[in-house]
Structure 1
Amino acid sequence: MTAPTTTAVDAVPSPELDLAKQTSALTVQETIPEPDTEAQDAQLPPHRSHDPQHNMKRTDPFMFGSRYLEEGDDVFEFNAWDHVETDDAYKEYSEQQFAMQRASPVSDFDKNRFNADPARFWNLFYKNNTANFFKNRKWLHQEFPVLGTVTTEDAGPKVVLEVGAGAGNTAFPILANNKNPKLKLHACDFSKKAVEVMRSHAEYNSEMMQADVWDVAGEELPPGVKENTVDVVLMIFIFSALSPLQWEKAVRNIHRVLKPGGAVCFRDYGRGDLAQVRFKKGRYLEENFYIRGDGTRVYFFEKDELARIWSGVFETVVPTDENKVGSSKTTSDPLPQDSPAGKVDSQLFDVEELGVDRRMLVNRAKRLKMYRCWMQGRFRKK
């Protein structure tokens, strides 16, 4: 991730926006001995200095910053460190949490209730959090340079489709940085309330932007969007809101709207993220899939899992009555060579880039460490 570390957690609105500011039993408290006076007098390496030019994030995509935590570093010198693997204490606590979550899942009644109408809970979420959306997210252009390509003055006719939860949150920054008079931006969300908020926003320009309600895992294409017409699809923290049973349909719908060679820009939650570990009893739907306190759903992905999905390898669904209401009982997620029973479609996407953005955030006042994990990818239609 290439955004400044002080704003990284707020990149996209979600019910976890305040996680970095909170503390809990799972955060690891650490006491650092007093620094050696002699060492203080020695010349510090650039990444540990307080010179702002050495504390900025890298601007090339998929590098996720260059502030490495090395032996001898004071972990509480900065608010965040990049590429930090979780320590043993956090791993042990995480596994204890996951075991507790599995042992106390969501009741069958609530599972049916939450899966039957997910849009209802997202409508309530946007109703209660309207003020948090549609800020300028500068990191988008840094992480996904293709957005700079389609928004240049001489780019010619281009179509960008953003699929939400919170679609306008990245759509408006694209408009703010756009110099292409022939750009058409479609911002779609399965929440009616989110679309209403987008259309009422001061920066909503109906000549260049069209906001509509659309279920990415539904049967229809977005309003005003035809097959093979879109240059870039943005999917920022949306795939995690879908049930695993909806992944295949969503991927195929994105494939339908993209031009041959069109790109998908993807960012979402990774397994082991602080948001996942924090879940208490009664929130577990199935492995890596949870219900938040506000009723919205969230999935936490593995890197290999995403690579299979976007390459066209889908799970084999066990036909049970429970599947009809959106709860997913599936077999394991096999690689093509492991099981001929898995559905394989090799004509979907090439995985051009897929990275794990691991970051350790710290509360310097309370000397607490918090681990975040996101997945980021770029997929191209074959």
Structure 2
Amino acid sequence: MALRGLYSGGGEIISASCVMADCCPGDVSAATGGKRVQFGTRFLKDPSRVFHHNAWDNVEWSEEQEEAAERRVRENSAQRVPPEKQVDYEVNAHEYWNNFYKIHENGFFKDRHWLFTEFPELTPRHNQSNLKSLLLKDSGHEIIEHRGCGLIVSNTQEQQKTSSHSLNHKEQKHPIDEATQNLCHLDINTDGFPGSSATYRILEVGCGVGNTVFPILHTNNDPGLFVYCCDFSATAIDLVQTNSEYDPSRCFAFVHDLCDEDKSYPMPKESLDIIILIFVLSSIVPDKMQNAVSRLSYLLKPGGMILLRDYGRYDMAQLRFKTGRCLSENFYVRGDGTRVYFFTQDELDTLFTTAGLEKVQNMVDHRLQVNRGKQLTMYRVWIQCKYRKPFSPNTG
């Protein structure tokens, strides 16, 4: 099939529903009760049925298609944006995003309800069972019960020892004691910042107008949940804070530059359970990505995770860029002045592991989206990752 789509590489938006890859990454079917089928489950076996659904999963590219994509990237990367313009796009990046949200307000992106299928870590009380399994894995001990910061632990190899024997060896700590202490200290001296009393804390970086935050608050009714959200654009944060669904008792929105190493986040180190990066890391200069990820890793609790979904190499949006829009290798500027990078799995793995995180998931979503009305096909390449902060202080 031809590589053609609904996006003009110069940045002109022809179809706002799919351009920024922020639309639902799957199809909704009556057969599933109106719920979106998780990606990776709908396969195009008969090419004649391509327009029977809105999207197809794990679409294999032919060698010819791969070669055509490589050739197209070489062509649209041959002419680079002049250095003085590149400086402008970097220095005034916040203004370009402010203008974007002033124009589109909250009418551009759709709410990301698909997050709970792809990232169940965002659902209520997921952290309870996840904490137990992680501690079991790292310590080899059985956790009988978890009450807040208190852990009742049973070492299966020592269950036959008597209570008096245990009392005579009080100075001998269980291997899990250190992990328990690490968990307990997270809630010490945490007063004085938003969400300090929460038991499960989520931060979304690059929140836009709240298309992730508000679905999380709707879906996750955990009374211990607190959601932080930040964006480069003050206009976007204004739209979040003035939304009728914004609840300061459960959420804190703030302006923050992911690349600003001199400005601290409003929460202390090792205080977050989840950090969400949805099509945001790709918007910053490549040589600033590592420091940004490392600073985020610093905020995670042991066992906490970064959840990412972003653009993959040779995505339709990359192939549709016109010559003269390339800033550096695989890094482009759209017609509205916003920028985008296209990742490989290895690049993301290096970013996260260098920051001291361990891989839980790193997969490519090769998607064929279709516009049935216009009979158009759109080849999308997205990467989805989950990286966890280890419990062991030697590796975390």
C-alpha displacement at 1:15, in angstroms?
8.3
| 1:153-185, Cα deviation, whole Å (9 max, x unpaired) | 999711111100516221111111121222211
| 1:189-216, Cα deviation, whole Å (9 max, x unpaired) | 1111111111111111111111101112
| 1:47-69, Cα deviation, whole Å (9 max, x unpaired) | xxx9734997544xxxx231111
Q: Does 1:188 align with 2:167?
A: no
C-alpha displacement at 1:251, in angstroms?
1.0
RMSD of aligned residue pairs (Cα, Å): 2.9
Work out which of the residue numbers 335, 343, 351 in structure 2 matches 1:309: 351
Q: Does 1:52 align with 2:31?
A: yes
What is the aligned partner in structure 2 of residue 281 from structure 1?
Answer: 323
Question: For residues 20 and 273 of structure 1, do their structure 2 counterparts lie closer, same or farther at Cα, with a shift above 3 Å needed?
Answer: farther
Which one-letter code corresponds to 1:18 in the other structure?
S
Task: Answer yes or no: is the 8 Å Cα contact 1:134–1:170 preserved in 2.
Answer: no
What is the aligned partner in structure 1 of residue 370 from structure 2?
Answer: 362
What is the aligned partner in structure 2 of residue 116 from structure 1?
Answer: 91
| 1:312-369, Cα deviation, whole Å (9 max, x unpaired) | 1xxxxxxxxxxxxxxxxxxxxxxxxxxxxxxxx6xx1001101111111223455432
Task: Answer yes or no: is the 8 Å Cα contact 2:122–2:220 preserved in 1.
Answer: no
Q: Does 1:107 align with 2:82?
A: yes
Work out which of the residue numbers 146, 149, 160 in structure 1 matches 2:202: 160
| 1:222-246, Cα deviation, whole Å (9 max, x unpaired) | 5531111111111111100111111
Structure 2 distance, partners of 1:15, 1:56, is 32
In structure 2, the gaps of 5 or more residues are 1-5, 20-28, 129-146, 149-197, 391-396
C-alpha displacement at 1:135, in angstroms?
4.8
Q: How many residues were matched structurally?
A: 305
Task: Answer yes or no: is the 8 Å Cα contact 1:69–1:82 preserved in 2.
Answer: yes
Task: Answer yes or no: is the 8 Å Cα contact 2:17–2:109 preserved in 1.
Answer: no
Task: Answer yes or no: is the 8 Å Cα contact 1:152–1:178 preserved in 2.
Answer: no
Q: Secondary structure at the match of 1:375?
A: strand
Task: Answer yes or no: is the 8 Å Cα contact 1:167–1:188 preserved in 2.
Answer: no
Which one-letter code corresponds to 2:293 in the other structure?
V
Question: For residues 206 and 21 of structure 1, do their structure 2 counterparts lie closer, same or farther at Cα, with a shift above 3 Å needed?
Answer: closer
C-alpha displacement at 1:146, in angstroms?
0.8
What is the aligned partner in structure 2 of residue 339 from structure 1?
Answer: none
Q: Secondary structure at the match of 1:76?
A: helix
What is the aligned partner in structure 2 of residue 176 from structure 1?
Answer: 218
Task: Answer yes or no: is the 8 Å Cα contact 1:165–1:237 preserved in 2.
Answer: no
What is the aligned partner in structure 2 of residue 268 from structure 1?
Answer: 310
C-alpha displacement at 1:250, in angstroms?
0.8
Q: Does 1:249 align with 2:291?
A: yes
Which one-letter code corresponds to 2:222 in the other structure?
N
What is the aligned partner in structure 2 of residue 372 from structure 1?
Answer: 380
Task: Answer yes or no: is the 8 Å Cα contact 1:152–1:179 preserved in 2.
Answer: no
Which one-letter code corresponds to 2:385 in the other structure?
G
What is the aligned partner in structure 1 of residue 123 from structure 2?
Answer: 148
Structure 2 distance, partners of 1:300, 1:71, is 30
Q: Does 1:127 align with 2:102?
A: yes
| 1:102-150, Cα deviation, whole Å (9 max, x unpaired) | 2221112211111223111111111111132675422111111111144
Structure 2 distance, partners of 1:252, 1:308, is 11
What is the aligned partner in structure 2 of residue 323 from structure 1?
Answer: none
Work out which of the residue numbers 54, 57, 68 in structure 2 matches 1:79: 54
Q: Secondary structure at the match of 1:215?
A: coil
Work out which of the residue numbers 332, 346, 349 in structure 1 matches 2:357: 349
Task: Answer yes or no: is the 8 Å Cα contact 1:263–1:379 preserved in 2.
Answer: yes
Structure 2 distance, partners of 1:19, 1:196, is 22
Which one-letter code corresponds to 2:80 in the other structure?
P
Question: For residues 54 and 128 of structure 1, do their structure 2 counterparts lie closer, same or farther at Cα, with a shift above 3 Å needed?
Answer: closer
C-alpha displacement at 1:308, in angstroms?
1.3
Which one-letter code corresponds to 1:67 in the other structure?
R
Task: Answer yes or no: is the 8 Å Cα contact 2:124–2:221 preserved in 1.
Answer: no
What is the aligned partner in structure 2 of residue 215 from structure 1?
Answer: 257
Q: Compute the TM-score of the two structures, normalised by the length of structure 2.
A: 0.70
Question: For residues 174 and 164 of structure 1, do their structure 2 counterparts lie closer, same or farther at Cα, with a shift above 3 Å needed?
Answer: same
Structure 2 distance, partners of 1:370, 1:87, is 15
Which one-letter code corresponds to 1:52 in the other structure?
A
Q: Does 1:381 align with 2:356?
A: no
What is the aligned partner in structure 2 of residue 29 from structure 1?
Answer: none
Which one-letter code corresponds to 1:121 in the other structure?
Y
Structure 2 distance, partners of 1:145, 1:16, is 32
Moved more, 106-115 or 88-97: 88-97
Q: Tell me: higher relative CO, structure 1 or 2? Use CA pairs within 8 A at least 6 residues apart.
A: 2
Question: For residues 21 and 230 of structure 1, do their structure 2 counterparts lie closer, same or farther at Cα, with a shift above 3 Å needed?
Answer: closer
Task: Answer yes or no: is the 8 Å Cα contact 1:133–1:169 preserved in 2.
Answer: no
